[in-house]
Amino acid sequence: MAKPKNAFYAQSGGVTAVINASACGVIETARRYKAKIGKVYAGRNGIIGALTEDLIDTSKESAEAIRALRHTPAGAFGSCRYKLKGLEENRAQYERLIEVFRAHDIGYFFYNGGGDSQDTAHKVSQIGERLGYPIVCVGVPKTVDNDLPFTDCSPGFGSVAKYVAVSIREAAFDVASMAKTSTKIFVMEVMGRHAGWIAAAGGLAAEKKGDAPHIILFPERVFDEAAFLARVDLVVKTHGYCAIVVSEGVKGKNGKFLAESGLRDAFGHAQLGGVAPVIAQLIKNKLGYKYHWAVADYLQRAARHIASRTDVEQAYALGRRAVELAVKGHNAVMPIIVRTANRPYKWELGVANLADVANVEKKMPEDYITEDGFGITRKCRTYLEPLIQGEDYPPYKNGLPHYVRLKNAPVKKKLGGEFKV
Amino acid sequence: MAKPKNAFYAQSGGVTAVINASACGVIETARRYKAKIGKVYAGRNGIIGALTEDLIDTSKESAEAIRALRHTPAGAFGSCRYKLKGLEENRAQYERLIEVFRAHDIGYFFYNGGGDSQDTAHKVSQIGERLGYPIVCVGVPKTVDNDLPFTDCSPGFGSVAKYVAVSIREAAFDVASMAKTSTKIFVMEVMGRHAGWIAAAGGLAAEKKGDAPHIILFPERVFDEAAFLARVDLVVKTHGYCAIVVSEGVKGKNGKFLAESGLRDAFGHAQLGGVAPVIAQLIKNKLGYKYHWAVADYLQRAARHIASRTDVEQAYALGRRAVELAVKGHNAVMPIIVRTANRPYKWELGVANLADVANVEKKMPEDYITEDGFGITRKCRTYLEPLIQGEDYPPYKNGLPHYVRLKNAPVKKKLGGEFKV
């Protein structure tokens, strides 16, 4: 019997609270198919690890360490923001990948990332074919932006959604307590430069009319200062305080991000960033209300301590299924989440072709935002609610989550020379 | 037998993740002393509720609702930032308090707050005496700032400490994953305008040399730009990335808060606030590293979902003990936490006199900060570590913490006229 081919796995782009759960699914499942898959090599810092032949031998990790990936946030092998160019523009990169895969007898390529990464995975499958080194390429979906097509949701999003909804609920309880004599406005900035999925998730914190958040600002809607200020004032006069979720991607009428709308330091350097302080200051200047603001930034996508159990289960299942698809001979595909029922929520795994997935961005439907542009519709809530269900607490040690750090032992290089990335 | 006197309870100043746990301790315990304590009236929005005769009848709340206060963040009755002036400066306010207490047959005054509030409680006990309306005044300590004297720690602090340590650990895992090609610097701003207790707590995330956070900036140390930048550069060159916790209270050589060091909007309006973006931008300008930053703001003190079990237990116990002290006839006192052992951590309840507590601020000891000014010492860690031990998860419903909202039924007013606050 031929020696089974090794597998290559890499994490790509912005990491999430559950991308390691997918890694866990890939590696644990590969270990169960020893007749078909040899070792799993991970790219150190994503695809760059493949290009530079900087591979990590995951077989050196104990079963316990790999299991702990399921509850460890961020990218255990390192990720990268590095988009391979088109096949014709930079054929050398693709050829290099195949060269490294050939040198290490790699027959499977698992790429854990968003739309760009699925495009890369697709191209690798094409070039492998052409260069006479066929490689089974399977994508594993991941992105907090929730913008991958075909899949009902993207792993990583559900946990950010839960974090954002929990955080705005808690902070709103705080500001409600203080509003009589002090802070009346709370602004929380969340991720989502191109789509309002994450901002929308904040809306889950409101169970009934009047609950926080009272206003959500979406990148899908041009910021209307007058309408916004009028609404803030009305909310404060009605409820005594106003809690606002704002997407980092909100733009003004001039098409520019509000976050870039002119913040300067004392030396005139532009752009310290952050749309929350811009919004808060605007309210203060125009309405006079005392404010507080928060920018969650990485905290939101790294918050494994409050991850959605649904999200963790899906992330793991997609990693597992990616390997199952590969050993069954499927190529250039990506496992996806298929929703089969809303209440109670039911989902199963499906499959999409990388050729169809690549570089297609799923937008938030128009009818997920209320007509006034400041909230989410019932339809949006029906979609989002299942994704934050369940908790999946990590183990704690000394009062803190006990996350694993792998050994990340290097695979001995076989190729001479350096490849410049 | 004489009808038992009613009790007045109020929450004061910035709220915390566990101040309601103290309220729970007060109310549940008062309900067990029916022969000595009638109803517990809460001040709506703190002491303002007493001055304006806006009282809440907590006897209208079910046992279940009161129990749920234990896991609900912020101030269930509303708090306020309102410091009563000195007795001689504003005697009318104190007389008004006594007038309201007399009208509602209130014989116990429980004031849940920081140093200022304990001062108020002390003065109320004095004026009651003088006006011939003796009232038992017992303080219940609370403050995320951890600056109350005598007590080993202040309820609210342990949970902020846990949130900050968890958050910087998680965000640091994220930035470590991204550092190869993208973000190398992460700056997280935390509360603590006058003392570095909260910033110090971030240091708990580091278990061994090289762990994040690599640098902590304390309000106790004047910001030394050159030394700081040199350290950042060294950390990035050694570990590939640098995670920084900065206290909002850090000041420059000119004695001004860095957060106020000249941020202006496009119209030249000063002070959008936030020291994290200032620090991040400084690093970018001087060292060129790509950054991300977060400002946790209210999220940190409202984060009941990740509260320290130790903190919750102490907050409850102090509320309970306040009532026990009162019914035993102790007056002008405040129950405190006494640490009796570090490993394993043991604590018991003690008692301090309000006369001693009032307006005394506990500073962070000099030897809690490392000599270079960028980290915490072993001694500091020994002090802090027990305070974040244990989790105390709230119940969840629909994927979100299920926090209670009380009915907060008003007590019928008995006095004519309005009192201007």
From A303, A358, A359, select the one nearest A332 (Cα to Cα). A358
- CB spacing of B296 vs A293 below 8 angstroms: no
Residues of B whose CB is below 8 A from A299 = 167, 170-171, 188, 294, 296, 299
d(CA A359, CA B337): 58
- CB spacing of A176 vs B398 below 8 angstroms: no
Check if A302 contacts B (Cβ < 8 Å): yes
- CB spacing of A393 vs B398 below 8 angstroms: no
Show which of residues 53-82 on chain B sit within 8 Å of chain A, judged by CB atoms: 72-76, 78-82
pLDDT at B421: 81
- CB spacing of B388 vs A399 below 8 angstroms: yes
- Does A67 count as an annotated binding residue? no
Residues of A whose CB is below 8 A from B173 = 72-74, 302, 403
- Does A193 count as an annotated binding residue? yes
Give the mean pLDDT of B319-343. 97
pLDDT digits (tens, 9 = 90+) for A142-153: 999 999 999 999
d(CA B208, CA B255): 33
pLDDT at B259: 84
List the single residue in A with minimal CA-CA distance to B281.
A272
Q: List the B55-57 sheet strands across, edge first.
A: B55-57, B37-43, B5-11, B106-113, B136-141, B333-342, B345-353
Which residue shows structure tokens 């707590």? B201
pLDDT digits (tens, 9 = 90+) for A294-334: 999 999 999 999 999 999 999 999 999 999 999 999 999 99
Task: At A18, list the tokens.
Answer: 């559950």
From A46, A180, A296, residue closest to B78, measured CB to CB: A180
pLDDT at B266: 46
Three-state SS at A87: coil
From A76, A170, A267, residue closest to B302, measured CB to CB: A170
pLDDT at A259: 84
Check if A178 contacts B (Cβ < 8 Å): yes
- Does A14 count as an annotated binding residue? yes
Helix axes B309-327, B19-32, angle to 10 degrees: 40
List the single residue in B with minimal CA-CA distance to A280.
B272
DSSP string, A245-259: EEETT-B-TTSSBGG
Q: Closest Cα of chain B to A257: distance in Å?
A: 14
What is the band of A264 on the pLDDT scale with cuts at 50, 70, 90?
low
From A48, A166, A403, residue closest to B180, measured CB to CB: A48
The fraction of chain A above a pLDDT of 90, given in percent, is: 86
From B177, B261, B272, residue closest to A263, measured CB to CB: B272
- CB spacing of A401 vs B162 below 8 angstroms: no
Task: At B172, list the tokens.
Answer: 């640091």
Residue type, B160: V
pLDDT digits (tens, 9 = 90+) for B243-300: 999 999 999 999 988 887 655 544 455 444 689 999 999 999 999 999 999 999 999 9
Give the mean pLDDT of A29-36. 97
d(CA B283, CA A417): 35
Task: At B416, list the tokens.
Answer: 């004519």
Residues of A whose CB is below 8 A from B80 = 178, 180-182
From B48, B78, B264, residue closest to A264, measured CB to CB: B264
- CB spacing of A182 vs B398 below 8 angstroms: no
Q: CB–CB of A421/A51 below 8 Å? A: yes
d(CA A405, CA A402): 10
pLDDT at A266: 46
**pLDDT of B185 strictly over 60:** yes
- Give the residue with greater pLDDT, A373 vs B194: A373
Active site residues of A: 145
Give Cα separations from A213 to A230, B41, B306 (angstroms). Answer: 16, 30, 21
ipTM above 0.85 for this complex? yes
pLDDT at B171: 98
d(CA B184, CA B289): 6
Q: Using CB atoms within 10 A of its CB, is residue A73 exposed (0-12), middle (13-18) or buried (19+)?
A: buried
Residues of A whose CB is below 8 A from B14 = 178
What is the band of A261 on the pLDDT scale with cuts at 50, 70, 90?
low
**pLDDT of A83 strictly over 90:** no
Residues of B whose CB is below 8 A from A68 = none
d(CA A373, CA A408): 47
Chain B interface, best mutation among A275, A295, A311, A406, by max B CB count within 10 A? A295
Chain A interface, best mutation among B77, B82, B116, B170, by max A CB count within 10 A? B170
CATH 3.40.50.460 residue window(s) in chain A: 157-302
CATH 3.40.50.450 residue window(s) in chain B: 5-153+306-360+390-401
Give backbone dihedrals phi and psi of A196, rounded to 5 degrees, phi first: -90, 20
- Does A192 count as an annotated binding residue? yes
Check if B277 contacts A (Cβ < 8 Å): yes
Give the mean pLDDT of B51-67. 98
Q: Closest Cα of chain B to A332: distance in Å?
A: 26
Three-state SS at B339: strand
Residues of A whose CB is below 8 A from B171 = 297-299, 302
- CB spacing of A205 vs B293 below 8 angstroms: no
Q: CB–CB of A45/B182 below 8 Å? A: no
Q: Find the distance separating the first CA and the last CA of chain A, reported in whole Å.
A: 37
- CB spacing of B403 vs A294 below 8 angstroms: no
Fold of A5-143+306-359+391-401: Rossmann fold (3.40.50)
Residue B213: is the preceding peptide bond cis (ω within 30°)? yes
pLDDT at B418: 80
Check if B321 contacts A (Cβ < 8 Å): no
DSSP string, A366-384: GGGB-TTSSSB-HHHHHHH
- CB spacing of B303 vs A167 below 8 angstroms: yes
Check if A181 contacts B (Cβ < 8 Å): yes
- CB spacing of A170 vs B78 below 8 angstroms: no
CA A270 to mean position of chain CA atoms: 28
From B80, B266, B305, residue closest to A181, measured CB to CB: B80
- CB spacing of A14 vs B178 below 8 angstroms: yes
CATH code of the domain occupying B157-302: 3.40.50.460
- For A267-300, give one letter per residue: b (16+ CB within 10 A) or e: eeeeebbbbbbbbbbbbeeebebbbbbbbbbbbb
CATH 3.40.50.450 residue window(s) in chain A: 5-143+306-359+391-401
Would you call B311 a catalytic residue per the annotation? no
pLDDT digits (tens, 9 = 90+) for A85-136: 887 888 889 999 999 999 999 999 999 999 989 999 999 999 888 889 989 9
From A174, A278, A301, residue closest to B298, measured CB to CB: A174
**pLDDT of B125 strictly over 50:** yes
pLDDT at A271: 47
From B11, B45, B204, residue closest to A400, measured CB to CB: B204
What is the band of B146 on the pLDDT scale with cuts at 50, 70, 90?
very high
Check if B384 contacts A (Cβ < 8 Å): no
- Does A105 count as an annotated binding residue? no
**pLDDT of B150 strictly over 80:** yes
CATH code of the domain occupying B5-153+306-360+390-401: 3.40.50.450
- Give the residue with greater pLDDT, B131 vs B381: B381
pLDDT at A156: 98
**pLDDT of A346 strictly over 90:** yes
**pLDDT of B75 strictly over 70:** yes
pLDDT at B90: 86
- CB spacing of A166 vs B401 below 8 angstroms: yes
Q: CB–CB of B406/B399 below 8 Å? A: no
Q: Closest Cα of chain B to A415: distance in Å?
A: 22
Strand partners, B345: B342
Which residue shows structure tokens 């200032």? B278
Show which of residues 224-243 on chain B sit within 8 Å of chain A, judged by CB atoms: none
Q: A146: number of CA atoms within 13 Å, CB side?
A: 24
Residues of B whose CB is below 8 A from A304 = 170
Show which of residues 201-220 on chain B sit within 8 Å of chain A, judged by CB atoms: 204-205, 207
- CB spacing of B174 vs A301 below 8 angstroms: yes
pLDDT digits (tens, 9 = 90+) for A364-384: 999 999 999 999 999 999 999
Q: A10: number of CA atoms within 13 Å, CB side?
A: 31
Give Cα separations from A128 to A101, A203, A331, A356, B217 (angstroms). Answer: 10, 45, 12, 19, 51
pLDDT digits (tens, 9 = 90+) for B78-91: 999 888 888 788 88
Residue type, B402: H
Known binding residues of B for diphosphate: 14
pLDDT at B193: 87
Considering the candidates B54, B57, B119, B145, report the single residue annotated as catalytic.
B145
- CB spacing of B74 vs A391 below 8 angstroms: no
